[in-house]
Chains A and B, each alone.
Chain A
Amino acid sequence: MSESKSSDTESAELETFRAETRAWLEANCPPEMRKPATSDADVFWGGRNAKFSSEPQRIWFERMRDKGWTVPDWPKEYGGGGLSAAEHKVLRAEMGRLGARPPLSSFGIWMLGPALLKYGNDAQKKEHLPKIAAGEIRWCQGYSEPNAGSDLASLQTRAESDGDDFIITGQKIWTSYANYADWIFCLVRTDPTAKKHDGISFILFDMASKGVSTKPILLISGYSPFCETFFDGVRVPKSHVVGQINRGWDVAKYLLQHERAMISGMGERGVGRPLGQIAADSVGTDAQGKLDDAMLRGKIATFDVDEAALAACAERAVDLAKAGQAHPAFSSAMKYYGTELNKRRYEILMSAGGVDALEWESERSRQGARPRAWLRTKANSIEGGTTEVMLGIVAKRILDLPGA
């Protein structure tokens, strides 16, 4: 009896939290922030040189930051909201109900933060986490190299010991927004004689350090979200290594789980309006109000079924993690499905848009927003581990199939 009573109290407290959260969001989320960002410029990434694209964007960010809700489930001492798992779920649900966009997008939040919380020492946590939460420092990820893509552990960027420092030399590629980033979390080889997974360290340094340079890569979308990043004798204190020297692969893998969870979220992120309605606008409807293209209608409906099912699975993945029942490789499963689904979404959008979706530069097409976004999605199933690598991980680590 006492047990059910305490869970009743708990759920009553949660309902109070829900009511307060709903009221606060209603009062504090500007109307302009209650719809998805329509372009990259409309997303706030923070950083030393950050500029707000609009006044509502600034207000929304600052209000959420002050509540610790840029990182709702981080501890308060690091600038987080200190919310429990159940409260965090309520906050997400209430933001979803309102259509409120995230106030701050950040690789620091999605990737580095969780890794620091698990592997960082006290000084590192105190130094970096509050600045991530407050959007003061923008991070980038130095993982892939020209000869270390899917086979990431074969990376060759060298870190040579020099007293209390490492001297870092080498090249990274596909570094997202390296040209805007303030700091980098980077995988470097600290022991070239060890087996490939055993000689890697995970290290943090300032992109303004001497010897760092970046060069954007023009993609098929016409955008340059990725860079080549060069290190020419960059001096970094050894105290900037997260976890143990030569044990960076553990940190790297843990961070990848979070990266994959983030990328799989793209499959859940709608484009503001249901695909069926977007298609109806351009394709038209028949006398009964059905989309006037039966095959396209069927594809959209199947997509909608899968999208709703994936959303349930994402919700369950979070619940399983909080309950301590999640398989550590499950983010690979979600990453595979979420990215393939997002590619399907944009194939449907291109088909629905027809000729109108082909314009690349006009004002009418918002500078070809749709075809450029369509092309961008093709990277989803490559970045953060390809679909084929994800399926291999599922086969080996979850299904325990015999390995090659």
Chain B
Amino acid sequence: MALVLTEEQSMLRDSARGLISDKAPVSHLRHLRDSKDPTGFSKELWHSFAEMGFAGLLVPEEFGGSGLGFMEAGIVMKEIGRTLMPSPFLATSVVAASALSRGGNAAQKSEYLPKISNGSLLATLAIDEGAKHRPLQTSLQAVRAGNGFKLSGAKALVVDGHVADLLIVAARSVGSAGEREGLTLFLVNPKAKGVAIERTIMVDAHNAARIEFANVEVNADSVLGEVDQGAALLDGVLDIGRGAVAAEMVGLSDEVFGRTVEYLKNRKQFGKLIGEFQALQHRAAELYVDIEITRAATMKALQVLDADVAKAAAAVAVAKARAGTTATRAVQEGVQMHGGMGMTDQFDIGFFMKRARVCEELFGDANYHTEQLARARGY
């Protein structure tokens, strides 16, 4: 498989770009933020996403989805990254849909996947508990009670947590924090007794929530995958999410870089275009190369995920680590090269910086993934 888009993939990109740039330019995010929109995204746009087959992009066709792969999901994420469009696509269509497709039993799949495909169900994974992404440190407790379990603990950075119709909660059913053994995923109704959801307004004006679970009762049918053996399922789902966020960061980096290069070609100081200054030319060129290398690493990760999710950890770690450092560099250079304008809220560049910071923390930052690679290589 070549690391270039096929004709079908190019068409998918064009149709995603057409819709997103038309209906959700950066001003769309700005409006949602300034109006303190209670939903945090456009329901109308989400319906368009469903109609175009994007909501169920990864869902198998038998469940009403498009049955496409991670490379295609990455193409849509990249376009989302270009305009910073707030969308349930990541939490619902990529992460939750993958968790259900990969871990769900027949009943769970036929209950939830068609609703994801037609855009009527929003779902999300609740994983992080502390300040940093440490999946194995999960300590939200799942205690056996009668035929089911009782969940107690707290989750943070639950994307779309305040609007989700279904929570996929990572819990510790046995053992202690840090152990691989003893993790279980549960499907939880956010309206269940004992669930307290606090929408957290974030720096990037995208949706996130803190959720507390106080003796929340779930029955045995709510287990997604196997009891105590959820780590492998979780690894795969997280790697899929990481690949998708890396793609979003490539799109974000592309856009912020494109805007910055345009500015270098138009802004005059000292009687010339600032893009004539070699100090800026070389920094722009270095950033260009960084972005191209990260683009390739991200495509590679998505390609490897499509081949076999279980064998993609190293390629995904490389992509997410690179995407984090590259996007961070892109937004910093973007603000610096735009000078004072880059510091103003009126100018869009700051939105990219804020979103990049959140994407960096989502599913593990560059340090986390670099560390994972070192461990995998045994040094």
Kindly provide the distance from the CB of A10 to the nearest chain B CB, expressed in whole angstroms: 12
Cβ of B307 under 8 Å from chain A: no
B3 CB contacts on chain A under 8 angstroms: 312, 315-316, 319-320
Cβ of B293 under 8 Å from chain A: yes
B379 CB contacts on chain A under 8 angstroms: 274, 276-277, 279-280, 285, 289-291, 297, 300
Stretch from B39-47, B295-303, B343-351 at the A interface: B295-303
Residue of B nearest to A317 (CB): B296
Residue of A nearest to B314 (CB): A308
- Of the residues A310, A313, A401, contact of B275 by C-beta under 8 Å: A401
Pair A316/B4 contact, Cβ less than 8 Å = yes
Kindly provide the distance from the CB of B316 to the nearest chain A CB, expressed in whole angstroms: 11
Interface size on B, residues (CB 8 A): 41
For B258-301 the 0/1 string (1 means CB < 8 A from A) is 00010011000000110110100110111011001111110110
Cβ of B107 under 8 Å from chain A: no
Residue of A nearest to B289 (CB): A333
Q: Decide yes or no: A313 and B288 within 8 Å by CB, A274-B377, A304-B377, A401-B261 being known contacts.
A: no
Residue of B nearest to A326 (CB): B4
What are 21 A-B interface contacts by the 8 Å CB criterion? A274-B379, A276-B374, A290-B374, A301-B370, A301-B373, A305-B321, A308-B297, A308-B314, A308-B373, A312-B296, A312-B299, A313-B292, A313-B297, A315-B3, A333-B285, A392-B278, A394-B285, A395-B281, A398-B285, A402-B265, A403-B276
Cβ of B14 under 8 Å from chain A: no
Pair B284/A302 contact, Cβ less than 8 Å = no
Chain B binding surface, main DSSP class: helix
Pair A337/B293 contact, Cβ less than 8 Å = yes
Pair A401/B284 contact, Cβ less than 8 Å = yes
A277 to B376, CA, bound (A): 12
Kindly provide the distance from the CB of A345 to the nearest chain B CB, expressed in whole angstroms: 15
B292 CB contacts on chain A under 8 angstroms: 313, 330, 333
B315 CB contacts on chain A under 8 angstroms: 308
A312 CB contacts on chain B under 8 angstroms: 3, 293, 296-297, 299-300, 318
Cβ of A27 under 8 Å from chain B: no
Chain A binding surface, main DSSP class: helix
Kindly provide the distance from the CB of A218 to the nearest chain B CB, expressed in whole angstroms: 32
A319 CB contacts on chain B under 8 angstroms: 2-4
CB contacts under 8 Å to B, within A381-404, are: 388, 390-392, 394-396, 398-404
CB contacts under 8 Å to B, within A353-404, are: 388, 390-392, 394-396, 398-404
CB contacts under 8 Å to B, within A299-355, are: 300-302, 304-306, 308-310, 312-313, 315-316, 319-320, 322-323, 325, 330, 333, 336-337
A301 CB contacts on chain B under 8 angstroms: 370-371, 373-374
Pair A304/B373 contact, Cβ less than 8 Å = yes
**Interface size bucket, A side?**
35 or more
For A173-192 the 0/1 string (1 means CB < 8 A from B) is 00000000000000000000
Cβ of A298 under 8 Å from chain B: yes
B322 CB contacts on chain A under 8 angstroms: 305-306, 309
Q: Decide yes or no: A310 and B293 within 8 Å by CB, A277-B379, A315-B300, A323-B4 being known contacts.
A: yes
For B3-33 the 0/1 string (1 means CB < 8 A from A) is 1100000000000000000000000000000
Pair A401/B297 contact, Cβ less than 8 Å = no
A394 to B242, CA, bound (A): 30
**Closest A-B pairs by Cβ, 6 of them:** A276-B379, A309-B297, A395-B281, A313-B296, A394-B285, A316-B3
